[in-house]
């Protein structure tokens, strides 16, 4: 049915009514602000908000970036998870490339809504940021979270979903985000080599570890290699076991043997296999026992702490020695008791999933207190190269698995002591397999002709 021209309001009438309503609203707001106390207004707003929340079918979970001064693991996990899996669902992303990192880091920008699905349920994420007026620490240094620093930017995620899925979100979805982020972090992790840096703002500085060593390329006894790999697997899978028995989740290894037998390369192979960072600690650079504790606290979880040449790093007297107190007074930087507490005392439990590796050329020079289980749980003797080790090296350097000269080399290795480093050095001299192997034979024959005294002197 068509309306007659008389029933259709004119544009002038519509504008007049709109202006009247606007004026009434302004007047009502003015009256409300002047006549109704602030407390009553706040109460009314609060009640309206509660009513809206009660009637709304959705619930919002807030994930803050920090809890006081402590970083929120769930915030970091959400950033990794969303940056890796959900960036295609938003129109705006942030990308950065740190100088020492190999890969691009993708993150979601502020106020960008992302939709995720888990078990058929939709979840909505939004990164929210607000400014904080204070941006300096109590010590006057910008950016120091540990010194009372008030962040310049306060960030949090808002995760929204329907109320009926609250249990699924808290019991299943968020744990899934944590686990997925952990896997993504390990997948793209670059193993880092940390060294002590007293001149920097932190005790540790780092570079990427580009060492190519793997268990496959290590020329070591196959049974010993299997023992080590099995032990590492057992260690990283026993988090609950260590917690149940009341012990710190750490493992100690002693690598001993002549120079050139691959102790440092084995540490690199362990780090590459586990994707653990290496913290290389030179005890001669440590100022005192308290510095030792600070360095330990500064190491991260899932890491390998390496103390090479422990017998040479510092002159540690036996605790039963009559000269112990004189030894400390003579100016040594750290004490044996400090080192023992560093390895398995209370301070050693400041972190999870840590491996401590000691290396030495002379096991017999170490104090027995250092060698017991709990400090050095597994002792691995890396000795001279046998024929099995040579075949691994031949495959590494020359990419050959067999050759007519192998038989002669096998006979020589049964009589001659040569380290993997020595054999590798000979194999590197020529890319031609025939020439390289013949050069190795000549080298081994020359060692065989040496007198026992000369060979013994060279081995020390």
pLDDT 10s digits, 63-90? 998 888 788 999 989 988 888 876 666 6
What residue segments make up the domains of the chain, in order of their start? 44-130+153-188, 193-320+332-381, 387-450
Most confident listed range (56-60, 103-107, 333-337): 56-60
User: Quick one: 339 exposed, middle or buried, by C-beta within 10 A (0-12, 13-18, 19+)?
Assistant: buried
Beta-strand relationship, 70-71 and 204-208 = unpaired
Q: So what CATH class is 193-320+332-381?
A: alpha beta
Predicted confidence at residue 326, as pLDDT, reads 40
Please report, in angstroms and rounded to a whole number, the separation of the first and last CA atoms in the chain.
111
Query: By mean pLDDT, which of 11-25, 280-294, 445-459 is the weakest?
Result: 445-459
**189-209 pLDDT, tens digit each:** 788 999 987 776 567 888 888
Whether 430 and 436 have beta carbons less than 8 Å apart is answered as yes
Confidence of residue 130 (pLDDT cuts 50, 70, 90): confident
Mean pLDDT of the chain: 79
**Per-residue pLDDT tens digits for 307-353:** 988 877 655 544 444 444 344 444 456 777 777 777 776 656 666 88
Q: Looking at the predicted structure, is the pLDDT value of residue 423 above 90?
A: yes
Radius of gyration of the chain, Cα coordinates, nearest whole angstrom: 33
User: How far apart, in whole angstroms, are the C-alpha atoms of residue 145 and residue 69?
Assistant: 6
pTM given for the model: 0.66
What's the per-residue H, E or C state across 217-246?
A: CCCCCHHHHHHHHHHHHHHHCCHHHHHHHC
Three-class DSSP category at 438: helix
């Amino acid at each position: 049915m068509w309306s007659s021209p008389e029933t259709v309001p004119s544009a002038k009438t519509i504008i007049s009514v709109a202006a009247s309503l606007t004026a009434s609203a302004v007047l009502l707001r003015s009256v409300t602000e002047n006549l109704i106390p602030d407390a009553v207004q706040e109460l009314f707003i609060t009640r309206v908000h509660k009513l809206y929340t009660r009637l709304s079918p959705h619930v919002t979970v807030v994930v803050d970036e920090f809890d006081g001064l402590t970083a929120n693991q769930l915030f970091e996990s959400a950033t990794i998870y969303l940056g890796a899996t959900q960036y295609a669902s938003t129109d705006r992303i942030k990308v950065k490339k740190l100088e020492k990192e190999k890969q691009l880091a993708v993150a979601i920008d502020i106020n960008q809504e992302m939709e995720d699905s888990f078990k058929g349920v939709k979840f909505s994420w939004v990164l929210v940021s607000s400014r904080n007026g204070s941006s300096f620490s109590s010590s006057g240094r910008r950016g120091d979270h540990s010194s009372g620093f008030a962040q310049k930017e306060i960030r949090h995620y808002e995760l929204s979903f329907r109320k009926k899925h609250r249990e699924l979100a808290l019991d299943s979805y968020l744990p899934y985000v944590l686990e997925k982020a952990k896997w993504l972090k390990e997948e793209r992790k670059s193993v880092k080599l940390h060294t002590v840096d007293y001149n920097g703002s932190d005790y540790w500085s780092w570079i990427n570890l580009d060492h190519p060593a793997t268990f496959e390329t290590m020329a070591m006894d196959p049974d010993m290699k299997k023992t080590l790999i099995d032990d590492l697997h057992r260690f990283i899978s026993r988090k609950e076991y260590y917690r149940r028995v009341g012990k710190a989740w750490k493992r100690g290894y002693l690598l001993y043997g002549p120079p050139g037998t691959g102790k440092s390369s084995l540490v690199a192979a362990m780090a590459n296999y586990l994707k653990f960072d290496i913290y290389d600690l030179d005890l001669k650079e440590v100022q005192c026992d308290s510095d030792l504790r600070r360095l330990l606290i500064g190491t991260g979880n899932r890491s390998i702490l390496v103390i090479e040449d422990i017998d040479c790093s510092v002159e540690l007297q036996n605790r039963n020695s009559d000269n112990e107190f004189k030894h400390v007074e003579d100016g040594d930087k750290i004490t044996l008791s400090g080192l023992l507490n560093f390895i398995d005392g209370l301070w050693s439990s400041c972190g999870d999933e840590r491996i401590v590796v000691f290396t030495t050329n002379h096991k017999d020079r170490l104090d027995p207190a250092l060698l017991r289980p709990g400090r050095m749980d597994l002792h691995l003797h890396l000795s001279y190269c046998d024929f099995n080790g040579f075949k691994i090296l031949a495959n590494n350097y020359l990419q050959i698995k067999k050759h007519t000269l192998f038989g002669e080399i096998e006979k020589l290795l049964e009589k001659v002591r040569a380290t993997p480093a020595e054999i590798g050095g000979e194999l590197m001299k020529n890319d031609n397999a025939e020439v390289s192997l013949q050069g190795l034979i000549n080298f081994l024959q020359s060692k065989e002709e040496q007198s026992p005294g000369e060979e013994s002197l060279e081995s020390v």
